[in-house]
Chains A and B, each alone.
Chain A
Amino acid sequence: GAVVSQHPSWVICKSGTSVKIECRSLDFQATTMFWYRQFPKQSLMLMATSNEGSKATYEQGVEKDKFLINHASLTLSTLTVTSAHPEDSSFYICSAGRREQGTDTQYFGPGTRLTVL
């Protein structure tokens, strides 16, 4: 159990367009989902924490108007990269939190590779 999917797995878009990435918890309900960004050969950087039915909490330096997060249900969160630019090209990974034995464990999706031309 505890499977998280992301769609699409990769996307190429033109500069100035918007791209939506979906994150789904397939076999459990996640009250909290997280979005990370990872540049090549670097670590994951937390972008925002998303709670179902409320506004996302963004980390310092992350533009909330550029990276729109919607957490409409307990199994789905979406990240929309608006007016994408080449510097937004990155690997975007989501995770979904599940309470286990008193600890919030995060289960990660397989990631979405975004390339902006």
Chain B
Amino acid sequence: SQQGEEDPQALSIQEGENATMNCSYKTSINNLQWYRQNSGRGLVHLILIRSNEREKHSGRLRVTLDTSKKSSSLLITASRAADTASYFCATAKTGANNLFFGTGTRLTVIP
């Protein structure tokens, strides 16, 4: 399977705290993307990081990528109750345009 692994599977934090989610993958990639999914809904694209990039920021989001370890992390700073959702990493292999999703992290932010 080309599916990636994410940890933790579930994370519960207080509002205002930071949340960190990790993603590991198996193959060489062109880019890695993070998505958010509210329960029973579609996916919202959060951020894309290319294989030649090491860190990227977007608002309260910070993504890192370590291609030598085949891993990525997503940091959400100053979390809000509205951040409660499932977060998935997805990898795009070199030379291909289909995505393979990680197992996901269910984040709960307690007001």
Contact yes or no, B43 A104, CB < 8 A: no
Size of chain B's interface in residues, with CB distance under 8 A?
23
The docked-state distance in angstroms from the alpha carbon of A46 to that of B9 is 20
Which residues 66-101 of B have a CB within 8 angstroms of A? Answer: 88, 92, 97-101
Interface segment, one of A64-72, A77-85, A106-114: A106-114
Size of chain A's interface in residues, with CB distance under 8 A?
25
Contact yes or no, B97 A32, CB < 8 A: yes
Q: Which of chain A's residues have a CB closer than 8 A to the CB of B98?
A: 34, 46, 49
Q: Which of chain A's residues have a CB closer than 8 A to the CB of B44?
A: 108
Q: B residues near A, CB below 8 A? A: 3, 30-31, 35, 40-45, 48, 50, 88, 92, 97-104, 106
Q: A residues near B, CB below 8 A? A: 6, 32, 34, 36, 41-46, 49, 91, 93, 95, 97, 103-111, 113
